[in-house]
Structure 1
Amino acid sequence: MTTTKDNESVPALRRAVKILDLVGLQQTPPNAAEIARLLALPRSSTHGLIGVMTELGLLEHAAGHASGYRLGPRLLDWAAHVSSRQDLIGAFHHVVGAHPELAPYTVSLSTLDGDEVVYLASRASERGLGVHYSVGLHLPAVYTATGKAQLSAMNRAAFREWLTLYPLATWPPVSTPHSTITPGEIMEEIRVAQNEGYAMDDGQIHLGVWCFAAAVHDSSGHTAGGLGISQPKPANAGEVRDLMARLVVSIAAELSGRLGYRGDRQA
């Protein structure tokens, strides 16, 4: 549990948030003295904090107000990222809801976060099969189908840079006890995914469960995430494999199109 002492250990951050809230609500950009007065803060430390916030782009001097401040451009960058992610999640739910053929599968959406994927959305199988990927769940990217799909969508330079940051020797062991896949085999899976347009996780995360995934692209052509469909591996796996692969590629392409991606027609 977080204690009161812990909460009070970063007063500068709390003051910075109060300053942002205040500046955002003022019709006329306030100066440092007004900010200190309105928030009952020490004037000297408020001046110093405002200076750092201006340097970081959280505040900026308002044109026509020599000593007044308004919200800075860095906040707009953050807002754009939040808006973009919300657009992605909203588009995911719209597309998934429009395809009844997805009912047998758990459908998930993740984004790459370093050497992990973090799940942004998930819809469990309507038949009670498969697994559920909780929003916010982090898993090793190299063992998830959605992670491998995103890694396979990187260009060579970006993938080499990723491998420099996360070399094979640092990869965690596979989570399911009966899977003996090696880093070299994972690299081959990523290479195959580059050619096939989809990636697989065959029991590497959940024993007996397989997942197929394809990359999702935004309007600028960047990889926005990975879309996955999963279910317990069926007895007729050979027959079902091509069906699941085609389905996930098709749904990921539709989701990308909804985000404005135009494939080869991108500038």
Structure 2
Amino acid sequence: MTDPAKRRAPAVLRAVHILDRLAATPEPLGVSDLARDIGAPKSSVYGICETLAEAGVLNSEDRGYSLAAHCLRWSGAYIERSSLVSDFQRILSRDNRLAQYTVTLSTLEGDQVTYLACRNSDSPLGFTFRIGMRLPAVYSATGKAMLSRLPLPERHAILARPWHPPFTANSVADLASFDEASERWKELGYAIDNGEIRDGMVCLGAPIIGPGGRPVAGIAISMTSAEARPEVQQELGGIVRDIAASMNLHHGD
């Protein structure tokens, strides 16, 4: 059989790395920055970026390249085909218990969570969730919830990279602390981000379980620290856990 590695197209892999890098920054990036970040020759990066710009996937600006609106076609197509997103939107339209709160749906991609759907509340949190946003899984409520449901060796393999720099003084400090807290999250059925992404914001997240008992996504609620009294956390955590469990039924468990 043909070696799969021989069938790969390096230029395509580099294009994906370039798109990922541009998606992670709000500012345009030049060829030198992109080449350094993805470890590729400038000439190769320039050729790929110019091709993507000609195809309408990137904008070519004075300060470098940025993602073009064309990318939204892929995002929209993915969201339209995602039963998870459909379930999330349908449940929130029927269930008014979380009407006053920010609610998000995300999935685990490596050591990051990517947000698939968001319903931001009118109450000021000082933080706005966006579709496509990525955050370190170890600090986010859904990331904690999903990672806690993975076998320990798999979780450790995912988190083997250098620990992500903390966002706040509350951010979990290391893998040992994360593992210890994971036992409590599994017992509760939901995980807590207590000001780890942003000071003054508390999030409660529960895993959505798919075939084989594996987490396929997570749903979370966000509120201010002032709102997050212990009895409120317990009540809302139970609601988030129940909603996630109702979505499990649609995905194999």
Q: TM-score normalized by structure 2? A: 0.65
Q: TM-score normalized by structure 1? A: 0.62
1:114-153 map, 5 Å: 114-129=110-125, 131-153=127-149
Match of 1:182 among 173, 177, 187: 173
Q: Is the 8 A contact 1:146 1:227 kept in 2?
A: yes
Could you tell me which residue of structure 2 aligns to residue 161 of structure 1?
154
- In structure 2, give the amino acid aligned to 1:109: L
Could you tell me which residue of structure 1 aligns to residue 196 of structure 2?
204
Structure 1 vs Structure 2 CA RMSD: 2.9
- In the aligned structure 1, how far is the partner of 2:182 from the partner of 2:131? 25
- In structure 2, give the amino acid aligned to 1:98: R
Match of 1:170 among 162, 165, 180: 162
Q: Secondary structure at the match of 1:143?
A: coil
Could you tell me which residue of structure 2 aligns to residue 241 of structure 1?
233
Q: Secondary structure at the match of 2:241?
A: helix
Q: Is the 8 A contact 1:131 1:231 kept in 2?
A: no
Please state how far the C-alpha of 1:242 moved relative to its aligned partner: 0.8
Q: Is the 8 A contact 1:95 1:254 kept in 2?
A: no
- In the aligned structure 2, how far is the partner of 1:197 from the partner of 1:235? 21
- In the aligned structure 2, how far is the partner of 1:250 from the partner of 1:191? 19
Distance 1:116 1:230, change over 3 A: same
Deviations 1:191-242 (A, max 9, x none): 2112221100000001110000110023554321011001101266122121
Q: Secondary structure at the match of 1:228?
A: strand
Q: Is the 8 A contact 2:79 2:116 kept in 1?
A: no
- In the aligned structure 1, how far is the partner of 2:113 from the partner of 2:177? 19
Q: Is the 8 A contact 2:125 2:223 kept in 1?
A: yes
Q: Is the 8 A contact 2:138 2:172 kept in 1?
A: no
Deviations 1:50-79 (A, max 9, x none): xxxxxxxxxxxxxxxxxxxxxxxxxxxxxx
Q: Secondary structure at the match of 1:96?
A: helix
Count of residue pairs brought into register by the alignment: 187
Please state how far the C-alpha of 1:83 moved relative to its aligned partner: 8.3
Please state how far the C-alpha of 1:251 moved relative to its aligned partner: 1.1
Q: Is the 8 A contact 1:228 1:248 kept in 2?
A: yes
Structure with max Cα Rg: 1
Q: Is the 8 A contact 1:105 1:130 kept in 2?
A: no
Structure 2 residue 246 is matched with structure 1 residue 251:
no
Q: Which runs of 5+ in 1 are unaligned?
A: 15-81, 263-267
Q: Secondary structure at the match of 1:212?
A: strand
Q: Secondary structure at the match of 1:195?
A: helix
Match of 1:90 among 78, 86, 89: 86
Distance 1:142 1:236, change over 3 A: closer
Q: Is the 8 A contact 2:206 2:241 kept in 1?
A: yes
Q: Is the 8 A contact 1:131 1:230 kept in 2?
A: no
Deviations 1:25-45 (A, max 9, x none): xxxxxxxxxxxxxxxxxxxxx
Distance 1:128 1:87, change over 3 A: same
Q: Is the 8 A contact 1:130 1:231 kept in 2?
A: no
- In structure 2, give the amino acid aligned to 1:203: G
Q: Is the 8 A contact 2:125 2:201 kept in 1?
A: no
